[in-house]
A and B are shown apart, each in its own frame.
Chain A
């Protein structure tokens, strides 16, 4: 019954509005760089759009590098559980998990195989 109720971001229009608001703010902030005088302490700051570019580029690099790190750092969820628990029950009694825990390793293996897809903002 509750599912039928439409919430704020169930309307794609609202998401679009939010994104347009972000884009406009970004454009405005970039333009402000040309009009507002700032005290420069670091040589890089002399560049127009230094902070916007630095923020954008470093974040993209951060995410790409982190994604690449997954290729050699990611293991199945119960990677450590196999040895440290000596095959004792790993079920978290206090906090019930929704998924079938016994199946989780298989799930992760399956997830490794297909191409990784991101969450879409429009979801």
Chain B
């Protein structure tokens, strides 16, 4: 029975230790065996609480299994396996250990039954994942990693504060529905929001995911944000505010994605857009919407992973990732091109691809609950995501103008990982019932009715037509080497500048005040000296006034002393 009590994060943490102690092929075998064995183990686990104990006054539940956590547990194992296969060629202990620990932390967080355990894994997610950014070993990635770590740890600290408030208010730490009725509710909401890349706190994602290593980004894209989606789905289902936040998340990143040159950053913006769909689903809160959000999270891990892998392959093989420097790669990287197009079709929600079967659930739920304007925004975002992720990514990397780069397809392990992800995208698209069976709520939803299929196909084809038309007219913004300002401008430029200006003013004033004070003091001393000087010249020409003052003091002290003796 001890096997049941072994929480899923343990095999990965133990595995990280083995990775540290082994080399080359054996290490690869161990890394692949762990997610497979752990997934088989997870498949046999019944729902319920499998581990709990008391620590001081706190009742901790480090291992709780239910349908919602299982769904994320399964997809995390899948993402881990795909990521590990993708990175089999690596000979970098730091990255491989960090990746195993990171996967373990993600699993720890989704199976945490109490807020304190969640907090611990929340912070571990941040600490382990930052090594996937630092592993690039450049000054730039170091600075990016520090920014990432500060924001992630901040989210954890807010979560801890919220947890302590929550315990005071409710006398329990159990992680269930929280809601926004209390201070603790808001604090925890903000903590989840930061990790879920809510608008204005989203730049850690675009910053870090475009700067991490080729394989690191594949892992990063799967876990952190999905843990946040899971946490929101558990604690805040049906919170209307989430509908509006989610709708904003679906729309604003697509504008940035269109003008962004770094293709991995384009994908990071598109990840925020997809998270927006999930957040809207959670905010609507009906069984269909939650199912849609969870199913979309499941699919997103796979298709976004596939897209990051294909762009990673381009970066790995060409050393470049900017749209302005790429193009024409389909000639020598045909397999990567096809796999990327499968990912692009999935994220764009083409019928028969995975995105379609989950996104349409959220859209249907929005309409069913009367969120008409939100539905229009989601429809705009669907067209937009096709535009920037579905067309722009494959077009500028593999087609467009010929950059003259003749790089080959990446190593076999990378291709295999991408092929697994692509097969899953198609398999889920063709047979969604397999995915629906795992969802937290029973569902009889059928995405393949004429209405949905026709509407979505029309929307996408006319978006493609718009892309072609804009290109032929020369109105499509060209890829330029540049930096686009975003909200991170506030903390990377505006605040430091403001602080610098503030301190400059303070220091200037401080110097001026001190100089004036010194001047006044000097004047005062000069004045007294002048007076003394006059005094000594009139009455005590031969005795300095100082010695006179001293003797007066001696006389007075003696007098005082004598009066005490009496």
In the complex, the answer to whether A80 meets B493 with C-beta atoms within 8 Å is yes
Interchain nearest-CB distance for B557 vs A (Å): 61
B476 near A118 (CB under 8 angstroms)?
Answer: yes
Q: Is there contact, CB below 8 Å, between B258 and A7?
A: no
Q: Judging by beta carbons under 8 Å apart, are B259 and A108 in contact?
A: no
Chain B residues with CB under 8 A of A59? 383-384, 387, 462-463, 466-467, 470
A75 CB contact (under 8 Å) in B325, B457, B465, B485: B485
* Residue contact B481 to A107, C-beta cutoff 8 Å: yes
CA distance A89 to B450 in the complex (A): 58
Structural contact, A111 and B325, CB atoms closer than 8 A: no
Number of residues from A at the complex interface, CB < 8 A: 78
Contacts A29-B457, A85-B140; A96 near B477 (Cβ below 8 A): no
A95–B315 contact, CB under 8 A?
yes
- Within the complex, the shortest CB–CB distance from A49 to chain B, in Å, comes to 8
Q: Find out whether the CB atom of B462 lies under 8 angstroms from the CB atom of A79.
A: no
A116 cross-chain contacts in B, Cβ below 8 A: 477-478
How big is chain B's contact interface, by range?
35 or more
B173 within 8 A of A: no
Chain B, 389-408, CB within 8 A of any chain A CB = 396, 399-402, 404, 406
User: B254, B259, B383, B458: which contacts A73 (Cβ < 8 A)?
Assistant: B259
Would you call B555 an interface residue if the criterion is a C-beta within 8 Å of the partner chain's C-beta atoms? no
A71 vs B464: C-alpha distance when bound (angstroms)? 25
Majority secondary structure, A binding face: helix
Q: Does B387 lie within 8 Å of A62, measured CB to CB?
A: yes
Contact of B471 among A7, A25, A120 (CB under 8 A): A120
Inter-chain pairs besides A52-B462, A80-B492, A85-B140, 8 sampled, C-beta below 8 Å: A7-B330, A9-B399, A26-B465, A41-B367, A59-B470, A62-B387, A69-B256, A80-B493
Q: Report whether B454 and A38 are in contact in the complex, using a CB–CB cutoff of 8 Å.
A: yes
* Closest-CB distance, B136 to chain A (whole angstroms): 6
Q: A36-B450, A38-B451, A41-B368 are in contact. Are A123 and B137 (CB under 8 A)?
A: no
Shortest Cβ distance from residue A30 to the other chain B in the assembled complex, whole angstroms: 7
* CA of A66 to CA of B260, assembled, Å: 10
Whether A51 and B458, one on each chain, are in contact in the complex, defined by CB atoms closer than 8 angstroms, is yes
Complex contact A73–B492 (CB within 8 A):
no
Question: Do A117 and B458 form a contact, CB below 8 Å, given A42-B367, A66-B258?
Answer: no
The answer to whether B254 and A63 have CB atoms under 8 Å apart is no
Q: How far is the CB of B488 from chain A (nearest CB, A)?
A: 9
A117 vs B400: C-alpha distance when bound (angstroms): 14
Which A57-76 residues have C-beta < 8 A from chain B? 57-60, 62-67, 69-70, 72-76
CB within 8 Å of A: which of B445-476?
449-451, 454-476
Question: Interface digits, A111-123 against B, CB 8 Å rule (1 contact, 0 not)?
Answer: 1000011111111
Q: CB within 8 A of A55: which of B139, B320, B458?
A: B458
